[in-house]
Chain A
């Protein structure tokens, strides 16, 4: 097991009290495999990834659970130990390649700096060689020339490649990719996903892929966790999830993807919107929007239940 989240809870202290953005999430990531986390915006998926990295901005903080990376609880590490781990054992890429790179430093500087953070002995010239090799790995044309370029001189797709090169420069065991293709054109999206898949095959790293796009999940993920209002509502292998979804929310998400093979007049949308954390209902958080809801759903939040080997859903009505 590469990464194991146990009952992770993250909350934000606001003027109107504690607000829980991630509420008891348990997940696992295997080496060489991709876990897709899917959900609407505001479901807590980005907060979850920042909690794993321990990069939550004030006033957010992890209030419970464990984050085990190869058996070590990251939440118990000192700031210095955690820093040594970031970029070397876990790396992260973000949604906006436009703003995620520093505009005033060259691409080469930013990659070299990432290498230098975990390597104080190599010479500058050997780090430069490594950085150029990293650019080459993500298939940036003319890597030694691109080394001296600034972010604003590159296209969005190229910048995301630079981000990936930077994240993978330290050969991490786990890569967290938070909406890595959302800001990119569709054709560039496919290239970036291909690249990630190839690099995974090459390095054997585990990937957590966070997205709201089920198409990306279908293309990339081995396993999937569906999040809703701070919780995991369904967990399964990607194949199983698409073939036999068991949570009404997953069903709703799948109904809202455009498909060419079905002759549908219009896409179905899930009625209503995700409630904000301070307005979560006491029972199942999806119940107010759920076509299958019954009285018992409002009593207590349903736990994740095994429905088939490796397939769990948090729904009283399951199997549907």
Chain B
């Protein structure tokens, strides 16, 4: 198990390096000179040249890459073109709210999706199955922004039941909790369908497995057969698929944060891109990509926890 974990970790490292390289190259191709930006509009050519030397921009590109890595290691991702705030400082302030939103979206949508998918699989061919799957298809095809706008319009605007702009504070406070409901329902809402569909497929598959028949032949209750045998085994593919989907959910987070003015990395990224704040955009891209890598790593480790054949090999 430990060897497997280290192996996965070692495999994640080059991917992270690749992400950093792409982030770095992104800065090379944009038509903005970091030295000019950092020096400010009133700076003389000498000052810009001095900053250029200081930042190592005269060095060959691969030297610059290593300089960039070493600055990154010290937590320096440059400063925002717009407001001169260090990028890392902005990122530090927005990661928390994004994680909060992801958590609030997943905490209800994954269990609900798994529950609906399992029941649909168990009663396959029934009305419950058909309706659940039809709604799921609708959910899969529903864009995040549409659900978000509908919720804002109806729940937030017409009936004024819940707040729909910004974050109300930490999750565990009343204001914070109320403020996260609509964004979390929006972001999680588009996730329930895919999870339900994947779970249904996997559980239908494992319900026909020989070992499920063995479980029934032992005299186990249907509840136990489905939970401990069919679903338990189906979780192995489901977790993998959910992991992949969470990656795409990061994209949904960008949209959701923008719609609900949620002060997270996604909204920061959109703002930075729209205002051509390249260092900031680069920082957010690195963070979102790193998030993707962490999720994949978590899935790999969960895989080992769920499957003894992986854990003990």
A153 vs B221: C-alpha distance when bound (angstroms): 28
A129 within 8 A of B: no
Q: In the complex, A114 Cα to B220 Cα: how many Å?
A: 7
Contact for A113 among B209, B217, B220, B309, CB less than 8 A? B220
CB distance from B234 to the nearest CB of A (A): 10
Give the distance to chain A from B305, nearest Cβ to Cβ, in Å.
10
- Contact A166–B233 (Cβ < 8 Å): no
A37 to B312, CA, bound (A): 40
Residue contact A85 to B219, C-beta cutoff 8 Å: yes
| CA of A153 to CA of B308, assembled, Å | 10
Measured between beta carbons, the chain A residues less than 8 angstroms from B213 are: 55, 57, 94, 100
8 A Cβ contacts from B228-269 to A: 228-229, 232-233, 236
Which among B217, B306, B307 is the interface contact of A55 at CB below 8 angstroms? B217
Q: Are B214's CB and A100's CB within 8 A? A: yes
The listed residue (A83, A100, A102, A152) touching B219 by CB distance below 8 A is A83
Nearest first, the 5 closest Cβ-Cβ pairs linking A and B are: A87-B219, A86-B219, A99-B210, A114-B218, A102-B211
With known contacts A99-B210, A104-B308, A152-B308, A91–B217 Cβ distance under 8 A: yes
Q: List 18 A-B contacts (CB under 8 A).
A: A55-B216, A55-B217, A87-B220, A91-B217, A94-B213, A94-B214, A99-B211, A100-B213, A103-B211, A103-B233, A104-B307, A104-B308, A114-B220, A117-B218, A150-B312, A152-B312, A166-B218, A170-B218
B211 touching A86, Cβ below 8 Å:
no
Which residues of the partner chain B approach A8 to less than 8 Å between Cβ atoms?
A: none
Task: Find out whether the CB atom of B219 lies under 8 angstroms from the CB atom of A150.
Answer: no
Bound CA span A94–B218, Å = 12
Residue among B217, B309, B312 making CB contact with A53, cutoff 8 Å: B217
- Verify if B16 is at the interface (C-beta below 8 Å from A): no
- Is the Cβ of A150 less than 8 Å from the Cβ of B309? yes
With A87-B219, A117-B220: A100-B307 Cβ-Cβ less than 8 Å: no
In the complex, what residue of chain A is closest to B235 when comparing beta carbons? A104
Nearest CB on B from A132, distance (A): 18
Partner of A170, one of B210, B215, B219, B233: B219
If A101-B211, A102-B229 touch, whether A113 touches B308 (CB-CB below 8 Å) is no
Contact with B along A47-71 (1 / 0, CB 8 A): 0000001010100000000000000
In the complex, B83 has a CB within 8 A of chain A: no
- Give the total number of A-B pairs whose CB atoms are below 8 A apart: 84
Interface: A231 (CB within 8 A): no
| New A-B pairs, 20, CB < 8 Å, besides A102-B215, A106-B308, A166-B218 | A57-B213, A84-B219, A87-B217, A91-B218, A94-B210, A96-B210, A101-B214, A103-B307, A103-B308, A104-B233, A104-B236, A105-B228, A113-B215, A113-B224, A114-B220, A118-B219, A150-B309, A152-B309, A152-B312, A170-B219
* Pair A100/B221 contact, Cβ less than 8 Å: no
Contacting residue for B214 out of A104, A153, A163, A170, CB 8 A? A163
Which residue from A86, A87, A99 sits with its C-beta under 8 Å from B209?
A: A99
A86–B218 contact, CB under 8 A? yes
Note all chain B residues with C-beta closer than 8 A to A106.
308
Contacts of A150 in B (CB 8 A): 308-309, 312
Q: A153 to chain B: which residues have CB within 8 Å?
A: 312
B208: interface (CB < 8 Å):
yes
Q: Report chain B residues within 8 Å CB of A311.
A: none
- In A105-121, which residues have CB < 8 Å from any B CB? 105-106, 113-114, 117-118
A87-B210 contact, Cβ under 8 Å, with A103-B309, A150-B312: no
CB neighbours (8 Å) of B308 from chain A are 103-104, 106, 150, 152
A236 to chain B, nearest CB (A): 29
Q: Chain A 234-254, CB within 8 Å of chain B: the 1/0 string?
A: 000000000000000000000
Question: How far does the Cβ of A295 sit from chain B's closest Cβ, in whole Å?
Answer: 44
> Are A113 and B218 closer than 8 Å at their CB atoms?
yes
* Interchain CA distance A113-B215 in the complex, whole Å: 9
Query: A100, B211: Cβ atoms under 8 Å?
Result: yes
Contacts of A113 in B (CB 8 A): 215, 218, 220, 224, 228
Report A181 CB to chain B, min CB distance, Å: 16
CA distance A163 to B215 in the complex (A): 11
| Residue numbers in A under 8 Å from B220 (CB-CB) | 83, 87, 113-114, 117
Q: Complex formed: what's the CA distance from A182 to B194 in Å?
A: 41
Interface residues of B in 293-312 (CB under 8 A from A): 306-309, 312
> Could you tell me the distance in whole angstroms from the C-beta of A183 to the nearest C-beta in chain B?
11
- The one of A57, A84, A91, A104 that contacts B306, using a Cβ cutoff of 8 Å: A104
Asked whether, in the complex, the Cβ of B309 is within 8 Å of the Cβ of A86, the reply is no
Q: Are B309 and A100 in contact (CB under 8 A)?
A: no
The minimal Cβ–Cβ distance linking B132 to chain A, given in whole angstroms, is: 19
Q: Which residues of B contact A99 (CB under 8 A)?
A: 209-211
Residue A92 at the chain B interface, CB threshold 8 Å: yes
**Please, which residues of chain B bring their CB within 8 A of the CB of A100?**
210-211, 213-214
The answer to whether A117 and B214 touch across the interface, beta carbons within 8 angstroms, is: no
A180 CB to closest chain B CB (Å) equals: 13
Are A104 and B217 interface neighbours, CB within 8 A?
no
User: How far does the alpha carbon of A84 sit from the alpha carbon of B228 in the complex, in Å?
Assistant: 18
User: Is A88 in the interface zone, CB < 8 Å from B?
Assistant: yes
Determine if B232 and A87 form an interchain contact, defined as CB atoms under 8 angstroms apart. Answer: no
The distance in angstroms between the C-alpha atoms of A104 and B213, with both chains bound, is: 15
Residues of B within 8 A of A152 (CB): 308-309, 312
Residues on the A chain within 8 Å of B221, using CB: 83, 117
Chain B residue nearest to A91 (CB atoms) is B217
Q: Do B216 and A86 touch across chains, with their CB atoms under 8 A apart?
A: yes
B-side contacts of A105, CB under 8 Å: 228, 232
A residues 150-170 with Cβ under 8 Å of B?
Answer: 150, 152-153, 163, 166-167, 170
Query: Nearest Cβ in chain A — how far from B311, in angstroms?
Result: 9
